[in-house]
Amino acid sequence: MGEELEKMETPESAVRVRFAPSPTGVLHVGGARTALYNWLFARHHGGSFILRIEDTDLERSTEESAGAILEGMEWLGMDWDEGPYRQAGRMHLYAEHAQRLVDRGKAYYCTCRPEELEERRKAALAAGQSLKYDGRCRDSCHSEGALRFRLPQMGTTVVEDLIHGPVSFDNSDLDDFIIVRSDGHPIYNFAAVVDDAAMGITHVIRGDDHLSNTPRQIMLYQAFGYPLPRFAHVPMILGPDRARLSKRHGATSVTAYREMGYLSQALVNYLVRLGWSHGDQEIFTVEEMIRYFSLEKVGKTPAIFDPQKLEWVNAHYIKTQPASYLVGQMRPFWIQAGISEEELGASKEGWQEAIIDSLRERARTLVEMAQTSRYFFRDPEGYDDKAKKALVAIAQPHLDELGSQLQGLSDFSAPSLEELYRQFAEQKGLKLSQIAQATRAALTGTTASPPLFQIMEILGREKVLRRLSLARSHISP
């Protein structure tokens, strides 16, 4: 479907939800969770998930941001059934609906200039009075200016929220808000209602920072005579200090977490649990999320973003995803870690999978795994202090003789290598840890690595012997 969609006829029972980001930045984790909850709700009910780009803010909206949002959605695996629709291409629809409100006496033109409104606001603030618009253009007959919605001045508007329950708003506390600027561009509350009604949205699932907008939107629905969707306002995501999640708490964008080496499955799994639960279960397949998801299980209190918990979830997925899949995910991180395309291309079949299998038990991110795997692709460029000490602790003749035995070993597999090392240590009256650490230092340049004999098997006889030879210069005669 294209952007010309205006009013659709949909079966009453069909669930239709939308994610409607503004293209003024990247996709943040809060927005991603909102999108995820909408996507899961649609998939659970066999409904439609619609993507709408709310780009009427011409000064702040950019194509770059729109592209980044779509890229983030695709990376997270949230496919949409319709869209992405662009509000900028639907201006005629907003103009038509605005005129309908004027014709019905539900809206009026306001000629108050922004500087006048600001002066009145300051005066009201100084006098301790309400800051809402004073309505001086309410009964005028202007035919130009900004368009304001004529709110009922008495009574109560109740939001029957699917998460928070009934929330009441006193109409006298609300003011006649602007729905269309003097330049003809619609304001969020107005455009969102027109679009949601036109697209047949049955459930509006969004952050509870929008809850204060909802009574105004309900009145707009009523003014048009459109049926109300069901509203569900999801509590915000807070940082560990219980302040609203922001850059000072660390990364907040989906793109940043991808660049930090998090798997999309891990981020999705973590986000779904930020406010929703299914018993004590922590790890979910996508199929399980779809099967179990319901708004009744979304909590009413803010969720706390815990970077360490996200690391734990990511580590789980690194351990459990197929190595063949992780090879594809690792490639850009290997390049970033300084491994050349030539070095990657020279790898024999299954070799990169073996590297991943050796590292995945300890890795928390793909970045970490890439940085700690460089010694598989090239000889160590140097030895850290602990590695030097481990080498110095072994006499050169021991390392020479060990190299000779490795040269003649018929089965260069981890079990055979371990058996050879155990016998060698026993014959020389050495501790196995002494020669193992010295070998580890020679092969990797450090003393922290996956199991030594697994590394040796992956590297192969030729690389192991060459690196043992290179390390001899660090051993005291």
Catalytic residue positions, numbered = 247
Residue type, 64: E
Q: What angle do CA 27, 367, 80 make, to 5 degrees?
A: 30
Q: Which one-letter DSSP state was computed for residue 303?
A: E
Residue 424 · residue 435 · CB < 8 Å = yes
Specify which residues 263 forms β-bridges with.
Answer: none
Residue type, 277: S
Reduced to 3 states, what is the DSSP secondary structure of residue 165?
strand
Q: Which one-letter DSSP state was computed for residue 209?
A: G
> How many angstroms separate the CA atoms of 315 and 369, rounded?
11
Residue 476 · residue 390 · CB < 8 Å = no
Closest CA to 399 of 456, 440, 448, 439: 439
Q: Which one-letter DSSP state was computed for residue 160?
A: E
Long-range pairs for 406-412: beta carbons < 8 A, 24 or more residues apart: 406/461, 406/464, 406/465, 406/468, 407/461, 407/465, 409/461, 412/456, 412/457, 412/460, 412/461
Helices 432-444 and 414-428: crossing angle in degrees, nearest 10, is 130
> Per the structure block, which two tokens stand in for 316?
């789980």
